Amino acid sequence: MFQGNKYTLSASILAADFSNLSENIKNLKEFGCNEIHYDVMDGKFVDEISMGPVVLESIRKDINLPVDVHLMVDNPKKNIEQFSRLNVQTITFHYEATSEHKSIIKFIKSKDIKVGIAINPSTDVNKVFEFIDQIDRVLIMCVNPGFSGQKFDKKNLDKIKKIKDFLTLNNLSSRFEIGVDGGINISNIKDCYEAGANVFISGSSIFWNGDIKSNIMSLYSSLESKNE
């Protein structure tokens, strides 16, 4: 059923049951997830405060998937060193959080870690084009960052298409990841895929009722459904 490298389903564990976190994440690979999405919030760039490196270090032994650390923080560079020691595969920082994009990209790459840039709903997608040949992923925030369970904004489908068209025009599409984060569920995941996204970050839709396996299967069923 699952399409291998065709796309990535990334489980945002911010929406998991924190009283049973290790149990929630240990079977994600078996159930069909390809990645763990780890949100870091500092109470400054966004109002909320969430997991730091200590939590990731404590659960890393239970994770048998690649980890993408999503830095929703004011000073991304100071966090990179700590997370780079925790066997993470991607670090994604926000375009809006810094003016030192090239320096941060270079610093992450020096750690042999893939680089992602996230953009908020209000940010013009054209702003990331100058960095695309230096990074591995653009993460389109389909809701305002900081809170789980918000509704998906369909306006972001146009952003996905613009990035996909830019990649195709510049012969970069074969290696590049277009991620979507925020409100991703069975009703919109296929629309995102058809627009050009290939990384789908989902939290509430995976963990909301505790039936993680069934929820993941439903997301895949929606992705692979034939258009009527």
Would you name the residues annotated as active-site residues?
39, 181
10 Å Cβ neighbour count for 150?
15
Between CA 17 and CA 101 the distance in angstroms is 34
CB 184 within 8 A of CB 202: yes
**DSSP states of 16-60 as a string?**
S-GGGHHHHHHTHHHHT--EEEEEEEBSSSSS-B---HHHHHHHG
